[in-house]
Amino acid sequence: MFTLAHLSDPHLPMPVARPLDLLGKRVTGYLNWWRHRVRMHAPEALAGIVADIKVQKPDHIALTGDLVNISLPQEFARASKWLAEFGTPEEVTVIPGNHDVYVATTWAEGQGLWGAYMAGDDNPPATDFQVFPTLRRRGPVALVGLNSGVPKPPFLATGTLGQTQIAAAEKLLVDLGREGVCRVVLIHHPPLTTESRFKRLTDAAAFQAMIRRVGCELVLHGHNHRSEVARIAGPQGDIPVIGVTSASAAPDSKYGRARYHLIGIEREGAGWRIAVDIRALRADGEGCEPDGRIVFQSGGTVAKAA
């Protein structure tokens, strides 16, 4: 069995910023952090999640965005150091979230510091967002990374893939489908048409139309800070779309305890069996404990839920 750990939205602590750093949209995000969000995210919760992942020793780790908050250069530098302590680029795949692209930044001082974690196999560290969609193969699993993070006006947390990225992802998924691998799509925003217009993926309908044509086995996302399951139609049945709670959620936040998902993937006949174990931070903060399990079979049928 191949095991994939999925975590998202760590929102590493906000550094103190100078007034000149907060021109434009950043000022609203900065004030919102210190007024509200600082109490919703706990560094010690994230440390407990990371410690448990290391104990579980998954075959690979997928991190679906929002490492930072308002895209300050010092945030990217801190996140780069945190990533290096978490795992190597071969062990961890990262895609951007909307907070990682809160405003337009210089690549070398921003996402470029994580370029090796975003690059596809056998490619140098990513030099811009044009690398997406990316492909990483790990065992029987093909991880297809998408970027839905695009700078947006104040008070909007929406995401957009764009026609070019969707078309490239379609071709990639077609080719992978012919190989019979387990195709796992990584995206920050939930690709659903039912989301709030202030937080939604603006081209979710176009993404779903593409998936209806070519399919995949699993979609993983973050953004909503909650562990949740939805389905979108595929050519051979419904496809599970699974979101995960923020990995730094404070125990008394509206999101509940911090969580990550440990996903077991294995062949079952001509398809795949996908078991999602939800692991939640213990009350004492020392590691995690089981918090439910959902099992899918390729084609989207739920075999068991607990």
Domain of residue 133, CATH code: 3.60.21.10
* Per-residue tokens: 269: 């006949």
In whole angstroms, give the CA distance from residue 260 to residue 209: 29
For residues 303 and 200, the model is more confident at 200
- Residue 303: pLDDT band with limits 50, 70, 90: very low
* 96-to-3, 56, 61, 254 alpha-carbon distances in Å: 22, 25, 15, 24
Residue 284: partners with Cβ closer than 8 Å, 6 or more residues away: none
pLDDT, residue 305, reads: 34
pLDDT, residue 66, reads: 97
Does 128 have pLDDT greater than 60? yes
Q: Are the C-beta atoms of 294 and 302 separated by less than 8 Å?
A: yes
pLDDT, residue 285, reads: 84
Residue 267: partners with Cβ closer than 8 Å, 6 or more residues away: 140, 273
pTM of the predicted model, to two decimals?
A: 0.96
Question: How far does Cα 4 stand from its chain's mean position?
Answer: 12
In whole angstroms, give the CA distance from residue 17 to residue 15: 6
Judging by beta carbons within 10 Å of its beta carbon (0-12, 13-18, 19+), is residue 32 exposed, middle or buried? middle
Residue 3: partners with Cβ closer than 8 Å, 6 or more residues away: 56, 58, 59, 60, 262, 263, 264, 265
Q: What count of other Cβ atoms lies within 10 Å of the Cβ of residue 85?
A: 7
In whole angstroms, give the CA distance from residue 209 to residue 43: 39
Tell me the per-residue pLDDT of 43-93, one tens digit each, with 9 for 90 and over.
Answer: 999 999 999 999 999 999 999 999 999 999 999 999 999 999 999 999 999
pLDDT, residue 299, reads: 59
Amino acid at 278: I
Does 27 have pLDDT greater than 80? yes
Question: What average pLDDT score do residues 166-170 get?
Answer: 98
Q: Which domain holds residue 139?
A: 2-305
In whole angstroms, give the CA distance from residue 193 to residue 208: 9
* Per-residue tokens: 9: 């939205």
Domain count, the chain: 1
Does 127 have pLDDT greater than 90? yes
In whole angstroms, give the CA distance from residue 16 to residue 247: 22
pLDDT, residue 306, reads: 31
